Amino acid sequence: MHSERLHFAGSGATELAGRLDLPEGTPRAFALFAHCFPSSEDVPAAARISEVLTEHDIAVLRFDFAGRGGSGGDCAGTTSGPDVADLVRAADFLRTHHAAPSILIGHSRGGTAVLAASEHVPETRAVITIGAPAGTERIHRPGTALLVMHSPTDDTVGIDNARQIFAAARHPKSFLSLDGADHLLSRQSDARFAASLLATWASRYLDENTAAQAPTAPASAEGVVEVTGNGATRFGQRITLGRHLITADEPTPVGDDTGPSPYDLLLASLGACTSMTLRMYADRKQWPLENVTVSLRHSRIHAADCEDCETRTGRLDKIERVIHLAGVLDEQQRQRLLDIADRCPVHRTLHSEIVVDTALAAGDPADRETRDAPTATTGPAPA
């Protein structure tokens, strides 16, 4: 999942802040997810639901009515005119920059807002409310399906609200009990359960022939690897390698373990290069090599424990590499392939002197501030 922050004009003079979560491939549809909590980062359920939807190739724009992540007000109360107007503005933003939302999702007061806004978003095919307070809203436009999700143990917005919403709605409509969940869907299992069923139910009402065609992230230039924070987790990174995307993260408990760590990627690079090099050499020699498996492990050791190392003090990085060769190879062929493993380009790079030239990208704010800052003409020179 690729996640990015964005801002767009809300009702009146307000500016709305949101987060757009995109699946790795082309989205089959776009969803608009509204709630009234301080921010989606403070409500784990919002991020979890969005994550599951992207796993179903549904892109999600989620935002709170406070716009800048401030207090959303009375979440147990019914919706207001500005809430509905903000939803319509958010739908307009998606329609202009990506594709119009075909799914509207509202949590708490956001639920009554999506019910009212659905008739103003003609592309809507499905509306989902989660723990929503009942109001006078009803879905007027034919062809729009409704799913009411509510917990019988919700002590913030009582279950009777779900009954009122369901009774006032037209068919097709469905009800799903989130038994045992609290109003915020604080438990990860509750949020993922709700999201999985939500995505499956909504898929029934998506028009596969008019799937949304959202622009995918531009490929990086040939030979260039671009890495940027994906916004989904604290240390999560989105790595673009030409047309290919990889997620990286730190393992728990430091990170969320949503992808390989930087050292995992380093080992993967060495392992892939080793296997490819052995394959090319064996093919050139027409040896019966069937497959290569490379297992690698990184660790830190004391230099004094390494008999063959020139460095005698401090700690060193150690990579253990075990190569399994499948095929009817004689001992001489196997030994030759073991020698060739040390000649793979990445292995040579790791053993050679490496120059890393680092600079700020032209046009970065920090770069402009440094460049445009006035030069001091008085005072002592820095030490």
Q: Say how many C-beta atoms besides its own lie within 10 A of residue 43's C-beta.
A: 21
The DSSP letter of residue 343 is T
What letters, b where the CB count within 10 A reaches 16 and e where it falls short, cover 266-300? bbebbbebbbebbeebbeeeebebeebebebeeee
Question: Please, where are the H alpha helices in 131-187?
Answer: 160-168
Which pLDDT value is given to residue 241?
78
Which pLDDT value is given to residue 283?
95
Which pLDDT value is given to residue 217?
46
What is the spatial order of strands in the sheet that 126-130 belongs to? 2-9, 15-22, 58-64, 29-35, 103-107, 126-130, 145-150, 173-177
Which pLDDT value is given to residue 376?
41
Domain 2-210 top-level CATH class: alpha beta
Q: Which of these, 158, 126, 150, 157, lies nearest to 139 by C-alpha position?
A: 126
Strands 126-130 and 145-150 turn out to be parallel
Block means of pLDDT (10 residues each) for the chain, length 383 residues?
75 73 87 71 73 89 61 48 79 86 90 86 89 72 82 91 88 90 88 87 68 46 76 75 78 83 93 95 95 92 74 81 94 96 94 89 57 44 39
Which pLDDT value is given to residue 315?
81
**Cross-strand bridge partners of residue 302:** 315
DSSP 92-147: HHHHHHS---SEEEEETHHHHHHHHHGGG-TT--EEEEESPPP-S----STT-EEE
Which pLDDT value is given to residue 207?
58
Q: In the chain, what are the domain boundaries?
A: 2-210, 217-258, 262-351
Which pLDDT value is given to residue 10?
66
Cα three-residue angle 15-20-21, rounded to 5 degrees: 160
Cα three-residue angle 340-341-344, rounded to 5 degrees: 95
Check residue 314 and give left, alpha or beta (phi > 0: left; psi -120 to 50: alpha).
left
Given the candidates 3.50.50.60, 1.10.3720.10, 3.30.1010.10, 3.30.300.20, the CATH classification of the domain at 262-351 is 3.30.300.20
How far is residue 51 from each of residues 35, 123, 233, 242, 338, measured CA to CA in Å? 16, 23, 11, 24, 43
Which pLDDT value is given to residue 378?
38
Which pLDDT value is given to residue 380?
41
Residues in the chain: 383
| Prior bond of 172 cis (ω within 30°) | yes
